[in-house]
Homo-oligomer: A and B are copies of this chain.
Amino acid sequence: MDHVSAEAGDYPTTERSRVRRRHDRGSHGRSDVYAVLDATPLCHVGYTINGAPYVTPTLHWREGDRVYWHGSAASRFLRASDAMPVCLTCSIMDGYVLARSAFNHSINYRSAMVFGTARTVEEPEEKAAALKYFTDSFFPGRWDDLRPMTTQELKATSVLWMDIEEATAKVRDAPPGDPEEAHVPVWAGVLPVRHGLAAAEPAPDLPESIALPAALDALIRSGRLR
């Protein structure tokens, strides 16, 4: 799509997105932000309505500097305001970090916080194109195997997007940071967290003649979530 501009380089550093704590873990680099957004299907979208915050989980996908998300549960937000400021956050917990002191306990994680202005995809054709991209980015080739979407279904589906104006990525991936306390006689280390797909569960009414597509089998075996 012509809006895609997968530029290299950093997002601007402003009062909103400046990394205030643990500078060593923070980055405004595009590739760092993209890596987190692309690693997890689930995001949390924050809106403000009448001054109060709302945080909604949903699925997202990305094309260059544009992030899309599924409008599920967004109807109240869409009614409240058009073109509203949004903070979309993705987080993956990679492990518990157990140190010798409570203070140095931490987690290993990857997170990205991106800021922009929410828009809705209005044109049915553009919406269909976005949903095809969405579906195929999770499950390669699936869109063309599905029965086509009806006009009514397209109307009932909300797709939102924003261009990333500012963003921060943070990563911690290390053992406990307290080597000076190695003499304290308590177990220290990392309990890694794994997120992965398990064996597919065919729908109860799926004909036995329909096998799991190779692309889905490959996704399950990949160890990735998307």
Residues of B within 8 A of A123 (CB): none
Of A1-9, A27-35, A96-104, which binds chain B? A96-104
A103 and B149 contact, Cβ closer than 8 Å, known pairs A187-B213, A210-B185: yes
Residues of B within 8 A of A76 (CB): 20
User: Separation in Å of the A179 CB from the closest CB of chain B?
Assistant: 6
Residues of B within 8 A of A219 (CB): 191
A192's partner among B45, B139, B201 (CB-CB below 8 A) is B201
Residues of B within 8 A of A51 (CB): 48, 51, 85
Q: Mark A47-72, 1 if CB is under 8 A from B, else 0.
A: 11001111111010000000000001
User: Separation in Å of the A199 CB from the closest CB of chain B?
Assistant: 7
Closest to A220 in B: B191
Count of this chain's copies in the oligomeric assembly: 2
In contact, B206 and A189 (Cβ under 8 angstroms): yes
Residues of B within 8 A of A182 (CB): 203, 205-207
Residues of B within 8 A of A150 (CB): 103
Closest to A90 in B: B57
Report the contact-size class of chain A (Cβ under 8 Å from the partner). 35 or more
Closest to A86 in B: B53
A176 and B149 contact, Cβ closer than 8 Å, known pairs A87-B54, A91-B42: no
Chain A interface main SS type: mixed
A146's partner among B96, B101, B139, B143 (CB-CB below 8 A) is B101
Closest to A21 in B: B73
A91 and B187 contact, Cβ closer than 8 Å, known pairs A85-B52, A182-B206, A193-B198: no
Q: Which 6 A-B pairs have the closest CB atoms?
A: A46-B53, A57-B91, A46-B55, A103-B153, A44-B44, A55-B89
30 A-B interface contacts by CB (under 8 A): A20-B75, A44-B44, A46-B54, A52-B115, A53-B53, A53-B85, A54-B113, A55-B88, A56-B113, A93-B225, A96-B138, A98-B216, A100-B146, A102-B131, A102-B153, A103-B150, A147-B181, A147-B184, A175-B203, A175-B204, A179-B205, A182-B207, A185-B207, A186-B210, A187-B202, A188-B202, A192-B199, A192-B200, A193-B225, A194-B196
